[in-house]
Amino acid sequence: MVTRLDPKLFDAHREITWCPGCGDFAILRGLKLALAELDIPPHGALVVSGIGCGSKLADYIKINGFMTIHGRPLPIATGAKLANTDLHVIVVNGDGDSYGIGGNHFVQACRRNPNITQIVENNQIYGLTKGQYSPTSDKGLVTTTSPDGSIEVAFNPVAIALAAGAGFIARAFAGEPKHMAQMIAEGMRHKGYSLIDVLQPCVTFNRVNTYDWYRKRIYHLEDAGYHWADRGAAWAKAHEWEEQIPVGVIYRNDNLPTYEDQVRALEDGNPLSRITELFRHPEPQQYESLKREFL
Ligand code: SF4
């Protein structure tokens, strides 16, 4: 990956409190690489997160940041995008925040198609609260809240995103930060909602889904002659797990209208630019009309 900006531009110089070896370090690195590759300066991007180990990422990167309440980053990110359509809006949250507490928002974002990118740090466990089973925990996983093994069927984010109409679905592995950065950059290039589900080992609480466990199973779709345009083939890939796990772009459709494309209030341009322009050159009539429209 050739980066146009120096990734160090996004260093926040904060103390990072993740456990040594946590997959979240690679995701932080991957996001910086993707922003650098896409030539997006710190003021041009917003990261919105929720609650959980991974959501601390918003504090560890030097771009605009908003840590929201548990499970709610997607609606807030959608609102931010509607208010400033020029902003590159990225949601970063864990599997609990995204698929559990925020599960309904996840489904709605897939079908609404706002032009934002969601990176899910999927470690198949709740790490911050010390190791409870999460929506993506495999059936049978022994955790602090499932001492006899989880009895729930695991949430399948790829299949659910596909069924809900998402136009870009990719999976990456935190053990491969450069490939992950490519997936993030591809997702951000896609016009519309993009999901990057990242397999992110929690080295402290998930002793089953480790780096080695994933390394033995993952394979790259781009090396397997797979093409992401076929929805039926994507549905089959969404259900590969256990023996072999595909990473790469699973499904992509660049022809879907975005949510912003269809909001009439945006037909006259970016609301933030219009309001900024108004304050620069106030005209009473225009001011009154905007006041009626937005206040
Ligand atoms: Fe990472 Fe798990 Fe530690 Fe949280 S508890 S920082 S997810 S290794």
Percent of the chain scored above 90 by pLDDT? 91
Both 190 and 112 in one domain: the answer is yes
Residue 119 belongs to some domain of the structure: yes
Most ligand 1 atoms within 8 A of CB, residue of 57, 205, 206 to mutate? 205
Asked if residue 202 has its Cβ within 6 Å of ligand 1, the reply is: yes
Asked if residue 169 has its Cβ within 6 Å of ligand 1, the reply is: no
| Domain carrying residue 225 | 9-258
CA torsion sign for 174, 177, 178, 181 is positive
Asked if residue 22 has its Cβ within 6 Å of ligand 1, the reply is: yes
Both 201 and 119 in one domain: the answer is yes
**Phi/psi of residue 167, each to 5°?**
-95, -10
Mean pLDDT along residues 160-170: 98
Both 188 and 279 in one domain: the answer is no
Q: Please state the domain count of the chain.
A: 2
Question: Each residue of 173-206: pLDDT tens digit?
Answer: 999 999 999 999 999 999 999 999 999 999 999 9
Asked if residue 182 has its Cβ within 6 Å of ligand 1, the reply is: no
Is pLDDT at 137 greater than 90 in this prediction?
Answer: yes
Residue 212 belongs to some domain of the structure: yes
pLDDT at position 1 is 66
Both 135 and 151 in one domain: the answer is yes
Distance, CA 207 to ligand 1 centroid (Å)? 12
Both 274 and 191 in one domain: the answer is no
pLDDT at position 284 is 79
pTM of the model: 0.94
Average pLDDT of every residue of the chain = 95
Give the tokens for residue 189.
């290039």
pLDDT band at 2 (very low <50, low <70, confident <90, very high): low
Is pLDDT at 26 greater than 90 in this prediction?
Answer: yes
Both 198 and 272 in one domain: the answer is no
pLDDT at position 291 is 78
Q: Indicate which residue's Cα is closest to atom 2 of ligand 1.
A: 202
Q: Which atom of ligand 1 is least distant from the CA of 18?
A: 6
Both 187 and 72 in one domain: the answer is yes
Residue 246 belongs to some domain of the structure: yes
CA distance 118 to 116: 7
Asked if residue 16 has its Cβ within 6 Å of ligand 1, the reply is: no
pLDDT at position 63 is 98
Residue 4 belongs to some domain of the structure: no
- Closest to 224 measured CA to CA, from 232, 215, 233: 233
Residue 75 belongs to some domain of the structure: yes
Mean pLDDT along residues 264-293: 84
- For residue 56, the one-letter residue type is K
pLDDT at position 205 is 97
Is pLDDT at 108 greater than 90 in this prediction?
Answer: yes
Distance, CA 235 to ligand 1 centroid (Å)? 31
Question: Each residue of 56-96: pLDDT tens digit?
Answer: 999 999 999 999 999 999 999 999 999 999 999 999 999 99
Q: Which atom of ligand 1 is least distant from the CA of 127?
A: 5
pLDDT at position 276 is 86
Is pLDDT at 163 greater than 90 in this prediction?
Answer: yes
Both 129 and 244 in one domain: the answer is yes
Higher pLDDT, 155 or 275: 155
Both 36 and 111 in one domain: the answer is yes
Residue 2 belongs to some domain of the structure: no
Element (H, E) at 206: none
Both 183 and 276 in one domain: the answer is no
**142: Cβ–Cβ under 8 A, 6 or more apart, which residues?**
148, 149, 150
Mean pLDDT along residues 9-30: 97
pLDDT band at 281 (very low <50, low <70, confident <90, very high): confident
Range in 175-179, 209-213, 279-283 with the lowest mean pLDDT = 279-283
pLDDT at position 290 is 73
- Cα angle: 207, vertex 21, 8; to 5 degrees: 150
Most ligand 1 atoms within 8 A of CB, residue of 144, 202, 208, 209 to mutate? 202
Contact 23, 33 (CB under 8 A): no
**126: Cβ–Cβ under 8 A, 6 or more apart, which residues?**
52, 94, 96, 132, 133, 134, 205
Distance, CA 17 to ligand 1 centroid (Å)? 9
Residue 215 belongs to some domain of the structure: yes
pLDDT at position 72 is 98
Higher pLDDT, 294 or 236: 236
Distance, CA 202 to ligand 1 centroid (Å)? 5
Q: Indicate which residue's Cα is closest to atom 3 of ligand 1.
A: 19
Mean pLDDT along residues 126-148: 96
CA distance 282 to 285: 9
Is pLDDT at 295 greater than 80 in this prediction?
Answer: no
Distance, CA 173 to ligand 1 centroid (Å)? 16
CA distance 101 to 151: 19
Both 243 and 292 in one domain: the answer is no
Please, what's the largest Cα pairwise distance for the chain?
69
Question: Each residue of 245-274: pLDDT tens digit?
Answer: 999 999 999 999 999 999 999 999 999 998
Asked if residue 51 has its Cβ within 6 Å of ligand 1, the reply is: no
**85: Cβ–Cβ under 8 A, 6 or more apart, which residues?**
115, 260, 266, 270, 271, 272
Q: CATH number of the domain at 41, please.
A: 3.40.50.970
Asked if residue 60 has its Cβ within 6 Å of ligand 1, the reply is: no
